[in-house]
Amino acid sequence: MFVPDPQQYATALDDAGIAALGRRALFEVRGPDAAELLQGQLTNDIAALSAGAGCYALLLTHKARIRADMRVLCFAEDGSRYFVLESEPQAAPVLRHMLTHAAVGLNVTWRELSEQRELWMVVGPCTDEALAVSPPSKVEHSLCVADDAWLVRTYLGVDLFVPSGDSPNSLLSTALPTLERDVIECLRIEHGRPRLGLELGSTTMPAEAGVVERAVSFTKGCYVGQEPVARLHYRGRANRLLRGLRLASAVATGAPVRHEGREVGRVGSCARSPRFGVIGLALLRREVEPGTRVAVDASVTDGESAPAGAEAASSVASVTVSAEVSTLPFTLPSTPAEAPAESQGGDRRRPQGACAQPPPG
């Protein structure tokens, strides 16, 4: 479970902080046929991207299960576009395999940049004020280049891709508080964003994960896995959906979720949010709607005690944690009386325009 430091969490919510995420899966794709290659492999409309723009996209199997998710960033050099694919580190072998085979017969060159750049995330409502360079536009995935660094707009702030070993300080107008990874993960869960290896994977379809609107174009040409995606979108419905869970206590990734004695899904991510209490993401059967009470199995080995808020399911090996299914993203209760016990202070975000200004000079 992700447990953010309350002060760091408050900084990310009210001001701006910076988190070091290290190396990512990064691949540069160039050549006259670069857009054609990616257009035929990925779910979004890569050919429509102009320099300085980007998009979220998926690489699917022929049965439309998710192999990898990624950002596709479009750059320009000497009047020609080229692209960078960025994903979780564990996606590197998948992307490497795709590029190796899909580039056959096309005028394309590609190279891996995973060892050459590191990711720093600037997070918070005061992100732009904290930068010493012009930020990218407010559109998510838009990008710009400054001092050999890439700046990419996110739903939380701006990502900085700097050469490996370099400090991001030259890009900042002031020193920023450090944020640990747990803060970033907690915010991701609150926003209802699935992550590869947790909610996204080889058994998941885009519609189940709730990423169709962000990741799929229905007006572009063919791509791997297109037919099942289109058929489900126009004629069917997903059997599972990404939902939030408001939990009585912490549970582990992969914990079974049960309703009326039947398993209806498994937990992906779980965090202890200072605003919302213990929350999680889970792929659940579509009939388990928001507001439904469910039970989550939490394994307990000999000598361990059950977590607070859990009920014994047997005298030997397991306990049951109570939870309520929630819509995404998570929102604060409408009345203070409904607020979770672990939530303190309500919505503490700083009013727009109240960001601290860097000292002159």
Q: Give just the sign of the alpha carbon dihedral 140, 141, 146, 147.
A: positive
Question: Lowest-confidence range among 68-77, 88-97, 114-123, 310-319?
Answer: 310-319
CATH number at residue 306: 2.40.30.110
Same domain for 146 and 21: yes
User: Which 3 state secondary structure label does DSSP give 149?
Assistant: strand
Same domain for 243 and 155: no
Of 166, 187, 208, which residue is a domain's last? 187
Query: Which residues, other chains included, contact 84 with Cβ-Cβ below 8 Å and sequence gap of 6+?
Result: 26, 27, 28, 29, 72, 73, 75, 113, 150
Q: In whole angstroms, how far apart are CA 294 and each of 166, 200, 258? A: 48, 22, 6
Helix (H), strand (E) at residue 271: strand 262-273
Same domain for 153 and 40: yes
Long-range contacts of 71-75 (CB under 8 A, 24+ apart): 71/141, 71/152, 72/38, 72/42, 72/44, 72/46, 73/141, 73/143, 73/150, 73/152, 74/49, 74/50, 74/143, 75/51, 75/143, 75/145
Q: How many domains does the chain have?
A: 2
Same domain for 12 and 160: yes
Question: What is the share, in percent, of the chain residues with pLDDT greater than 70?
Answer: 87
Give this prediction's pTM: 0.90
Q: Is the pLDDT of residue 2 over 70?
A: yes
The domain containing residue 314 runs over which residues? Answer: 239-346
Q: In whole angstroms, how far apart are CA 161 and each of 46, 51, 131? A: 21, 17, 14
Q: Does residue 210 lie in a domain region? A: no
pLDDT digits 0-9 by tens, 260-279: 999 999 999 999 999 999 99
Same domain for 116 and 15: yes
Same domain for 248 and 182: no
Q: Does residue 227 lie in a domain region? A: no
Q: Does residue 92 lie in a domain region? A: yes
pLDDT for position 316: 40
Tell me what the pLDDT averaged over the chain comes to: 91
Q: Does residue 274 lie in a domain region? A: yes
pLDDT digits 0-9 by tens, 137-153: 999 999 999 999 999 99
